[in-house]
Amino acid sequence: MLTPTPLMGLVTGFWSFKTFAAAVELDLFTHLRDGRTLTVAQAGAELGLSERPADLLLAACASLNLLEKDGDGYRNSALAEEFLVRGKPYYFGGQVTYCDQRTYLPWHQVTDALRTDRPLTWDPATQESMFDTADPGMLQSFWGAMYSTSIFTARALAGAVDLSERARLLDVGGGSGAFSIELCRALPGLNATVLDLPHVCTIAADNIAQSGLSGRITTEPGDFLSADPLPTGHDVVLFSMILHDWDEPTNQALLAKAYAALEPGGVVVISELLLNADRTGPAAAALMGMNMLVETEAGRNYSDAEYSHWLTAAGFTDVRTISFDAPGANGAVLATRP
């Protein structure tokens, strides 16, 4: 029998996120690090909560598989221990905090974005782009969020796409450097250049230094949207979670620049949450497209068929799509410069 139960799941979806975000804000998982088990009373005392809210929070986090019950106490699940303990190498809390502080409230006015076709998280009349902010805390939060998501997306890409014969990667809009770092870790023969705005390159350089890969990864300050050509001398050009920020003409221009910059036989890699050809899903890609409505002037998520068409028009050959599962992408479209 058809019931509205699936609709109720959609209605209450924000309950899960806000419970999760509150637990991260309170640093619950850091309090439970290294196998600690706390009762409701103990957790409440450490978090500054009375018994009722502490009990409700712990029970809710257990229901979300973030905590496990052990007798009268709770401890971190393996997922929380690995990714939600502050200070650990792959801390994912930056992504949670960014979405909670930057995008959650604007999403409440998503109907306005639908009606006006204007972003909600920044004002195009006073700011050059969504990345233009005078708030250093928000900038740090954004790049922290992108880094934690990109690490595991890059690992999935490295496992799915054979770049073992490639020597020089240009990471266009490489941000905090996560893709270059993880790809170079996976491929000892690869060197990389991160191309991004000067203040972003500073963040990337710090991460590269901490990774111990400064001898193989460099940064190139620049604006890939400018009329300047992309740096040459590379046999791979990577666009990871970049092209969904822009409209079709901008993306076609970027792919033409990639073609001009690549050496013959070089490959372009587009890593994204790809829509299917008839634009009915998957949900992660379609909903990321809605987030592009909230956060960009012209961005949207595209299908691999659309990317294939643009790549062919730019002169690329051997266009193919490779699927994988990762936090920031579900596949990559590759093409070769003849």
Q: Which residues are catalytic?
A: 244
Tokens 């590379």 — which residue?
234
List Cβ neighbours of 144 (8 Å cut-off, separation of 6 or more). 94, 95, 97, 98, 176
CA dist., res. 172 & res. 175, Å (int)? 8
DSSP structural state of residue 320: E
For helices 51-63 and 13-25, give the axis angle rounded to 10 degrees: 120
Q: If we measure between CA atoms, which residue out of 77, 80, 96 comes closest to residue 88?
A: 80
Q: What is the DSSP letter of 335?
A: E
| CA distances (Å), origin 293, targets 114, 118, 122, 185, 247 | 8, 7, 12, 35, 11
Q: Is residue 32 within 8 Å of residue 75, measured between CB atoms?
A: yes
CA distance 119 to 299: 10
Give the β-pairing of 234-240 and 262-272.
parallel
Query: Using alpha carbons only, what angle is made at residue 60 by residues 148 and 329, rounded to the nearest 5 degrees?
Result: 30
In the 8-state DSSP scheme, what is residue 65? T
For residues 71 and 80, the answer to whether their CB atoms sit within 8 Å is no
Distance between CA atoms of residues 265 and 317, nearest Å: 10
